Amino acid sequence: GNSVTQMEGPVTLSEEAFLTINCTYTATGYPSLFWYVQYPGEGLQLLLKATKADDKGSNKGFEATYRKETTSFHLEKGSVQVSDSAVYFCALSNKPNAGGTSYGKLTFGQGTILTVHP
């Protein structure tokens, strides 16, 4: 079955530090990959996505590259801000034409808490 493994947190950084949150996955076929962010007291928001190998998703200074050879989708940001403090979830879903009952279901990693200090 599908699974997603994220680096354990919490991660604590100073403002302007470089961020990496590792994510690896196990899936049948070629899933779509996502990073979602959950700010305190809010629901999940899509941060970025990639749908095929070597695609790079990017948004708000964050980026992640779909690496098929290492089954990874690590999240990076060159200079974090206090406002980036949140929980980050890596996720995958099967492609629409994969069919079957697993289509469209998101499988989430356990989440990584990021705290950025001024």
Partner 1 sequence: GAVVSQHPSWVICKSGTSVKIECRSLDFQATTMFWYRQFPKQSLMLMATSNEGSKATYEQGVEKDKFLINHASLTLSTLTVTSAHPEDSSFYICSARVRREGPLVSDTQYFGPGTRLTVL
The site for partner 1 (CB under 8 A) is made up of 32, 34, 36, 42-46, 49, 51, 89, 93-97, 101, 104-106, 108-111, 113
* Per-residue CA distances from 39 to 24, 36, 54, 64 (Å): 23, 10, 28, 19
Residues 31 and 25: beta-carbon distance below 8 Å: yes
Residue number with CB closer to partner 1 (84 or 94):
94
Residue number with CB closer to partner 1 (70 or 101):
101
Determine the Cα–Cα distance for residues 43 and 13; give it in Å rounded to an integer: 23
Residue number with CB closer to partner 1 (14 or 26):
26
Least gap, CB of 38 to partner 1 (angstroms): 9
